[in-house]
């Protein structure tokens, strides 16, 4: 079974089509970021406590994320130096006091434009795997036909 099929099967068996619990958190500058204002407009990969190397890879993949309307939301402890790191168009760094939001979403979760949780991951997933999952989604395939990319 391919990795994509395994992730999709696990999502289906876990009831991953459930709606996404809403949250509002702050970035390093103290600005509020509300999940609700992004649901339905973008796909979201919520990742708890990603490493500096993972964040660097996200930054390198910004163009691929833009094409897929995929925003990576990194949840970090308020004291984490990574909160002050560079952001890109599709990377959002948020302080998660007490890890409350991370507890709701787990190590990582992919939310589709239909606002449902499409996959949950036991650790921050390889971006190539997430991009493959997104590319297999019917809505993304329709976007590719319409946009030509």
Total domain count for the chain?
A: 1
What's this model's pTM, rounded to 2 decimal places? 0.85
Average pLDDT over residues 33-59: 96
Place of tokens 């971006």: 127
On whether residue 66 sits in a domain, the answer given is yes
Q: Which residues are within 8 A (CB) of 91 and not within 5 positions of it... i.e. 6 or more apart? A: 55, 58, 59, 62, 65, 71, 72, 74
Check residue 19 and give its pLDDT.
64
On whether residue 149 sits in a domain, the answer given is no
Check residue 12 and give its pLDDT.
42
Residue of 88, 90, 48 lying closest to 69 (CA atoms): 90
On whether residue 37 sits in a domain, the answer given is yes
pLDDT tens readout for residues 104-122: 999 999 999 999 999 999 9
Q: What is the CATH number of the domain that holds 52?
A: 3.40.30.10
Average pLDDT over residues 43-50: 97
Which token pair is 98? 């007490």
The alpha carbon of 126 is separated from its chain's Cα centroid by a whole number of angstroms, namely: 12
Percent of the chain residues past pLDDT 70, beyond the cut:
87
Position 149 confidence tier, pLDDT thresholds 50, 70, 90 = confident
On whether residue 119 sits in a domain, the answer given is yes
Place of tokens 């796909």: 43
Average pLDDT over residues 65-77: 97
Q: Does 13 score more than 60 pLDDT?
A: no
Q: Does 147 score more than 90 pLDDT?
A: no
């Amino acid at each position: 079974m391919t990795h994509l099929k395994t992730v999709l099967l696990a999502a289906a068996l876990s009831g991953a089509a459930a709606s996404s619990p809403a949250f509002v958190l702050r970035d390093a500058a103290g600005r509020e970021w509300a999940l609700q204002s992004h649901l339905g407009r973008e796909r979201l990969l919520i990742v708890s406590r990603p490493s500096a190397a993972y964040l660097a890879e996200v930054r390198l993949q910004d163009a691929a994320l833009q094409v897929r309307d995929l925003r990576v939301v990194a949840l970090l402890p308020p004291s984490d130096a990574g909160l002050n790191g560079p952001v890109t168009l599709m990377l959002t760094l948020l302080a998660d006091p007490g890890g409350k939001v991370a507890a709701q979403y787990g190590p990582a979760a992919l939310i589709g434009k239909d606002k449902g949780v499409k996959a949950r991951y036991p650790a921050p997933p390889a971006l190539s795997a997430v991009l493959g999952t997104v590319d297999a989604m019917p809505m993304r395939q329709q976007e590719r036909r319409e946009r030509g990319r």
